[in-house]
Amino acid sequence: MTETSLPLPDPLMRSRLRRLLESTLFVAAWMGLGLALRLDANAYVLLGIPLTLAFQRFVRRTPISALWVRNAPPFRLRWAGVLIAVALMTFPDYLFIQKLRQEDSWVLLWLLLAGTVGAVSAAYAAQNARCETAWWFLLCMVTAGGIAVLLMLLGALGPLVQRPPLEMLETAGSSFLLYLPIVFVLEEVTFRGALDSHLHYPGERHEVLSAVFVSALWGLWHYPIAPPGTLLATIGQLLLLHVPVGLFLSVYWRRSGNLLVPGATHAFMDAVRNAICSTII
């Protein structure tokens, strides 16, 4: 199996240790802001948008479009891409209008607006997909998606038996329609599009170790918005869930070079979680 290549002139000269430190400090700074400002989950993830753009521009020094398609073709949408973007932004925009009328939290409104931007990025990724992208997506769903669903099911047998199946299916479908465009501006953009690409260049050794490392960062990043608990227990649970899942998200992002692969898988995982928890946002 081969990885997609990305023309990276200057960054290729950087040592892996430096890239590791830069990525770790980036996540630590984000976590520190989340804890210091006591941000809720929505505000915390939204903070990542400007932080990730700054990281990509000033630390990685690569095109912003490489966050979604690794070889960074020109960011333009053809007619098919426009149709995909319009279709993907329909549900987030519907929820935005609904929440605006209810005078809901401005943070939630910004999150829904981010879904509109994400729909455009998702369409860009979709129109640059290749035939083999579907194969990588299938493998990502079976591995990362399968592990995540198994872990969630093991931890939620009680709620599952109490939920009507049709209600769970409806929640899962609505959540997927919402999160598919949103993941193209939030977590996957940061941890696969930016950090994983920064930590591992095509052809470098120790691919699995670097994937495990970025997955551990992803798990620890959740600490400021994790449910209350003892420090070690919370960190252990976060790593137990996110390292095995993130490992495969990283691997198939590298194989495909298209964020549609880990992004759609992540949206599916969140949809299953919401179906279990009986929530959409």
- At which residue do the structure tokens 């997955």 appear? 215
- pLDDT per residue of the chain (281 residues) written in tens, 0 to 9: 445 544 444 444 458 889 999 999 999 999 999 999 999 999 999 999 999 999 999 999 999 999 999 999 999 999 999 999 999 999 999 999 999 988 788 999 999 999 999 999 999 999 999 999 999 999 999 999 999 999 888 876 555 556 677 888 888 999 999 999 999 999 999 999 999 999 999 888 889 999 999 999 999 999 999 988 889 999 999 999 999 999 999 999 999 999 999 999 999 999 998 888 766 66
The per-residue DSSP string of 222-270 comes to TGGGSPS--HHHHHHHHHHHHHHHHHHHHHHHHHH-BTHHHHHHHHHHH
| pLDDT at residue 10, as a whole number | 45
pTM of the model: 0.90
Q: How far apart are CA 253 and CA 162, in angstroms?
A: 36
Run of H or E including 182 = helix 165-182
CB 256 within 8 A of CB 128: no
| pLDDT at residue 160, as a whole number | 54
Q: For residue 69, what are the β-bridge partners?
A: 258
Looking at this protein, which amino acid is placed at residue 141?
M
- Based on DSSP, count helices (H) and strands (E) in the chain, helices before strands: 13, 0
| pLDDT at residue 261, as a whole number | 98
Q: Could you tell me the CA-to-CA distances from 280 to 143, 269, 271 in Å, in that order?
A: 24, 13, 8
| pLDDT at residue 168, as a whole number | 83
Task: Tell the burial category of 75 from Cβ atoms under 10 Å away from its Cβ (0-12, 13-18, 19+).
Answer: middle
Long-range contacts of 7-15 (CB under 8 A, 24+ apart): 7/71, 8/62, 8/201, 10/61, 11/60, 11/61, 11/62, 11/198, 11/201, 12/201
| pLDDT at residue 162, as a whole number | 64
**Nearest one of 26, 16, 37, 46 to 220, comparing CA atoms:** 26
